[in-house]
Structure 1
Amino acid sequence: MNKSIISYLKRTKLIQLIIVVIEVIAFFAILSINTTLRKNLYTNSNLLLLCAAAWVFLLLQVVFIFIDFFQLNHFNNIEDEQQFKHFMEESKGMLNRFSMDTMFKSEEVAQVLENVGCSMIEISNLREANEQYGRDAGDRMIDDFCQMLESVGNDYGIVVRNGGNEFLIVIADCTTELMEKCLEELDNSLAVYNQEESPYPITINSTYVLNSEHNFQRFSEVLTLAYRQLHK
């Protein structure tokens, strides 16, 4: 369900709730003002039954309105989840750059920016492999490296496809020791892969930025510095 439709339905339900509250206030105001009606309420069983039915009806209206609010919030959460899935790169199963930028724009995630660490990695021999073995070989190298990177990086933070031949490992509360340990594990996995599994060896270049050393206010600034370091 579209978010605009959900917002419209929420406003409609809020108006319904306000109307019910006004009805309740008017009902008890009439009882307090009209003493004859109030006295008849206790002596006339039919009037009492009618009022009781009206109370039950109003109560049920309130209950169903709150149930509708709950359902609309549920649909809203589903919509958020679907949007998040839209950010995922279906071919590689990892976050893309757009999703990373979107996440750091939210207040909750932006709070971790102060101590975030970001490693930028590229497959340095991809162009050579494409030229020597063909693009199928290059695509396989990217697929294999993505799996390897996720296997290592997901234990430390978030793995991101930055686009093309660049990848990120983003770690919250990152220290030099933690980032070095992560990259060392990646190097070890890469060494095993090159020795045992692939006819197309993979070599990489990498660098990293710890925001605790720079105090950038935007994640894009962290990425810019990492990019400059990688390509200098």
Structure 2
Amino acid sequence: MQTEFFDKNKRATVYNSIYIYKIISLVVLAILTIILAVMFFRDQAVVDGIIASPTPPIFYVMLITLILFAFSVIFDFYILHRTASIGRHLNRLAYIDKLTGLPNRYSCDLIFESFSSPEILPNAGFLLLKINNLSSINKDNGHTNGNFLISEFSSILEDVSQDYGHIGRNGGNEFIMIMENCDDVKADMFLMDLTKRIHGYNEMNIGDPLEVAYSRCLNRDEHKEKIAELISLGYKRLKEIPQILS
């Protein structure tokens, strides 16, 4: 994936350049207005003489031009404000999963790329999680209940992960957790906190119970040279030897 496509700074530069141009235009208009006002009061007698005589058509043209210019600047500011608002909304859609509000697959790819540096990769920790009973819930109770459970689990995962690392929804029933400076203690603490929250949720009987399977790969133990290799190992372990939070 080309990260340039998701570069917020480049889009912000374009908007800022247009804003600066419009601000300069507005400042120029204000300066011209001030100059005309000063000339009017300074040369009152000359102005009175001009007023007493028929007004040249060029003055009307200049007045209409100034009014249109001022209206154009104000209207452009309104358009830019609306455009920036739409841009922020589209940017959110590009990065955020609609159902859960978590970073989506594109965001996960960017997170993975940020862990490719030789300073971070050696101590990276990767966990892959899934709702183990989601298929049966979708089949027996319908996808509405399944989506509700996905949303509830995502909220729990988001709350628990704040002190540990980066999370995202990397697919339909694939949730990732990736951490810097991760050792067994840090991974165990995260899983313990997550387990407590899941138990609390299940005890409230809000909906279908949560059963979560996971795999974990710590690069302190695996010594992978690429983050993609660590991620692939996590997927392999979840498929072949999944562990259940209990």
Q: Which moved more, 1:148-157 or 1:212-221?
A: 212-221
Note if contact 1:104-1:110 (Cα within 8 Å) is conserved in structure 2: no
Q: Which residue of 2 aligns with 1:144?
A: 152
Instruction: Give the SS at the match of 2:189.
Output: helix
Aligned-partner Cα distance in 2 for 1:206–1:213: 18
Aligned-partner Cα distance in 1 for 2:121–2:202: 35
Gaps in structure 1 of 5+ consecutive residues? 11-78
Structure 2 residue 213 is matched with structure 1 residue 205:
yes
Aligned-partner Cα distance in 2 for 1:107–1:173: 11
Cα pair distance change 1:84/1:223, threshold 3 Å: farther
- Identify which of 110, 117, 130 aligns with 2:125: 117
Aligned-partner Cα distance in 1 for 2:96–2:227: 19
Q: TM-score, normalised by structure 1?
A: 0.61
Structure 1 residues 149-178: Cα deviation after superposition (integer angstroms, max 9, x where no partner): 101112210111111111111110001011
Q: Which residue of 2 aligns with 1:163?
A: 171
Cα pair distance change 1:143/1:208, threshold 3 Å: same
Q: Which residue of 1 aligns with 2:56?
A: none
Aligned-partner Cα distance in 2 for 1:186–1:107: 23
RMSD over equivalenced CA pairs, Å: 3.2
CA shift for structure 1 position 220 = 1.5
Equivalent residues in 2 for 1:91-106, closer than 5 Å:
91-106=99-114
Residue 139 of structure 1 aligns with an amino acid whose one-letter code is: N
Cα pair distance change 1:215/1:194, threshold 3 Å: same
Equivalent residues in 2 for 1:210-229, closer than 5 Å:
210-229=218-237
Q: TM-score, normalised by structure 2?
A: 0.58
Structure 1 residues 103-155: Cα deviation after superposition (integer angstroms, max 9, x where no partner): 34358866312201011111010010011111110000000000001011122
Q: Which residue of 2 aligns with 1:87?
A: 95
Aligned-partner Cα distance in 2 for 1:176–1:136: 37
Gaps in structure 2 of 5+ consecutive residues? 1-7, 18-86, 241-246
Aligned-partner Cα distance in 1 for 2:111–2:199: 33
CA shift for structure 1 position 217 = 2.5
Cα pair distance change 1:98/1:218, threshold 3 Å: farther
Q: Which residue of 2 aligns with 1:53?
A: none
Aligned sequence identity (%): 28
